[in-house]
């Protein structure tokens, strides 16, 4: 037997060697990828996850009824103050965490208004936008400072004092009140606490200058106090304007006992039943010259000129020289130089711009007691008028026995009194007046009224 391997057997080791070396041509089998490298996990790699911020929600709402002169301060949860100066939407800047409480409240009421909140509290489970704040005219509180309903001429405190047809009233920076006591022909002073004394005049009518205790007046009706402490008085039947210095010296600034409409200096000028009076920072005096249907100006040197109106009664607006008035009775001056005039017979409120243009701010010319805006409102024989620090006008509506408010935009509202004459103190319309004539105001909005036919001096306080 031959020892040589059969050809087939000799080929097997070679084939095995080739196979082990990866050869073998097209018939060789390639191992699956999974057998030679790791397989990536399904999906993209996941990084660190940031913690989820808790949800927060805004608190917002709407304000209605806010008048044009003041502002309202709102808080949420006692903080995050919002000041609203007009009707419309509001939104607190600080958001509230989901599920946390919110509580909207009024922090500061606007003067002479009372604002209430509806839908103002709860848990914030979404943005809150239905908070409602509604503002209305606040109820006032009327009290009596001095006098009794019995006419007289007695000094004293509170109701122990007496007046006779007190007509004009003014207030100084120290809180003293000065009253033109028409029927007693004197000027009275009321110190804080209701202590009434006589500042000037004897109680007998006349026209005598000199020291306050011996000077005489005739039917003083309008009164104004300058920053210097000088007091100016309009004498209705005396047809002149008097001046009282802080030292108690009485002089005649302009006019004479004779009625007339002449411009001029001092006694050469004339008036016809001057009624309302106001004074500016430079001590120019402005006069509602009732029976002349004119608005007059007097410089500190006594030079009298006519600012607006003619002796012909009317209600025409326009340039001051062409405009007409009918019984101008009260006058007030704004810091910007605008004059406001009440008209007895036209039953309205007129304004004279610093450029000399006359317009109607409020009142239709018809007699009535309607509140409203501009000519939709009505008055009845308005007399006293004064301007507050916020630009609001206050009017003694004599024929209606009411105290009214007029905003800079001409919105008229009733603050106190009823149409029935009386002397009752109390809140809002439960209080009563009898021909309120003069009116003054302090920096806090408290009003002081010369209640002529009641012979009383009254206080009207905001009571939100």
In this prediction, residue 404 has a pLDDT band, given cuts at 50, 70 and 90, of very high
**Distance from C-alpha of 308 to C-alpha of 356, rounded to nearest angstrom:** 8
Instruction: Please give the residue that has the higher pLDDT: either 384 or 16.
Output: 384
Residue 201, φ and ψ in degrees, nearest 5:
105, 160
pLDDT at 27: 44
Is the predicted pLDDT of residue 15 greater than 60, yes or no? no
**Distance from C-alpha of 297 to C-alpha of 354, rounded to nearest angstrom:** 13
Q: What's the pLDDT tens digit per position in 219-250?
A: 999 999 999 999 999 999 999 999 999 999 99
Share of the chain above pLDDT 70, in %: 88
pLDDT at 463: 73
**Distance from C-alpha of 31 to C-alpha of 110, rounded to nearest angstrom:** 89
In this prediction, residue 22 has a pLDDT band, given cuts at 50, 70 and 90, of very low
Q: Tell me the pairing of strands 79-84 and 113-118.
A: unpaired
Is the predicted pLDDT of residue 6 greater than 50, yes or no? no
CB distance 300 to 309 below 8 Å? no
Quick one: tokens of 202? 């004897």
**Distance from C-alpha of 264 to C-alpha of 403, rounded to nearest angstrom:** 36
Overall average pLDDT of the 115-132 stretch: 97
Overall average pLDDT of the 142-146 stretch: 98
- DSSP three-state, residue 9: helix
Q: Which residue has the tokens 């003014």?
A: 170
Q: Which residue has the tokens 């009275």?
A: 188
Q: What's the pLDDT tens digit per position in 293-337?
A: 999 999 999 999 999 999 999 999 999 999 999 999 999 999 999
**Distance from C-alpha of 39 to C-alpha of 34, rounded to nearest angstrom:** 7
Quick one: tokens of 132? 């409602």
Is the predicted pLDDT of residue 5 greater than 90, yes or no? no
CA dihedral 374, 458, 352, 378 (to 10 degrees): 20
Residue 264, CA distances (Å) to 253, 306, 308, 310 in order: 12, 10, 16, 16
Dihedral sign computed on CA atoms, order 79, 82, 83, 88 = negative
């Amino acid at each position: 037997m031959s020892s040589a391997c059969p050809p087939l057997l000799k080929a097997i080791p070679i084939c095995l060697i080739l196979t082990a070396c990866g050869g073998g041509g097209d018939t060789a089998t390639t191992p699956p990828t999974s057998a030679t490298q790791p397989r990536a996990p399904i999906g993209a790699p996941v990084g660190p996850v940031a913690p989820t911020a808790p949800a927060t929600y805004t608190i917002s709402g709407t304000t209605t009824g806010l008048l044009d002169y003041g502002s309202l301060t709102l808080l949420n949860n006692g903080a995050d103050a919002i000041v609203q100066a007009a009707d419309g939407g509001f939104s607190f800047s600080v958001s509230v965490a989901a599920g946390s409480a919110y509580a909207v409240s009024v922090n500061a009421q606007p003067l002479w208004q009372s604002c209430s909140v509806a839908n103002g509290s709860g848990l914030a489970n979404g943005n809150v936008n239905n908070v409602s704040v509604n503002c209305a005219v606040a109820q006032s509180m009327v009290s009596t400072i001095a006098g009794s309903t019995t006419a007289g001429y007695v000094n004293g405190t509170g109701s122990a004092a007496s007046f006779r047809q007190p007509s004009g009233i003014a207030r100084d920076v120290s809180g003293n009140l000065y009253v033109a006591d028409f029927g007693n022909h004197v000027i009275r002073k009321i110190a804080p606490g209701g202590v009434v004394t006589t500042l000037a005049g004897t109680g007998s009518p006349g026209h005598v200058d000199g020291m306050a205790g011996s000077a005489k007046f005739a039917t003083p009706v309008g009164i104004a106090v300058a920053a210097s402490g000088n007091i100016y008085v309009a004498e209705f039947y005396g047809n002149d304007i008097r001046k009282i210095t802080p030292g108690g010296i009485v002089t005649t600034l302009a006019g004479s006992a004779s009625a007339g409409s002449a411009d001029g200096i001092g006694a050469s000028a004339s008036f016809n039943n001057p009624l309302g009076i106001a004074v500016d920072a430079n001590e120019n005096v402005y006069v509602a010259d009732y029976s002349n249907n004119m608005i007059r100006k007097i410089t500190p040197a006594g030079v009298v000129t006519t600012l607006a109106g003619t002796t012909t009664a009317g209600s025409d607006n326009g340039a001051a020289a062409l405009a007409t008035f009918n019984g101008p009775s009260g006058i007030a001056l704004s810091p910007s130089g605008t004059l406001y005039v009440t008209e007895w017979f036209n039953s309205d409120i007129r304004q004279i711009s610093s450029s000399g243009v006359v317009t109607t701010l409020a009142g239709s010319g018809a007699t009535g007691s309607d509140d409203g805006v501009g000519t939709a409102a009505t008055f009845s024989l308005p007399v006293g008028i004064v301007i507050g620090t916020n630009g609001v006008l206050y009017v003694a509506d004599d024929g209606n026995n009411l105290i009214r408010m007029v905003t800079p935009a001409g919105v008229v509202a009733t603050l106190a009194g009823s149409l029935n004459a009386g002397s009752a103190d109390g809140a809002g319309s439960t209080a009563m007046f009898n021909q309120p004539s003069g009116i003054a105001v302090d920096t806090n909005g408290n009003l002081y009224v010369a209640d002529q036919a009641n012979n009383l001096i009254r206080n009207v306080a905001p009571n939100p």
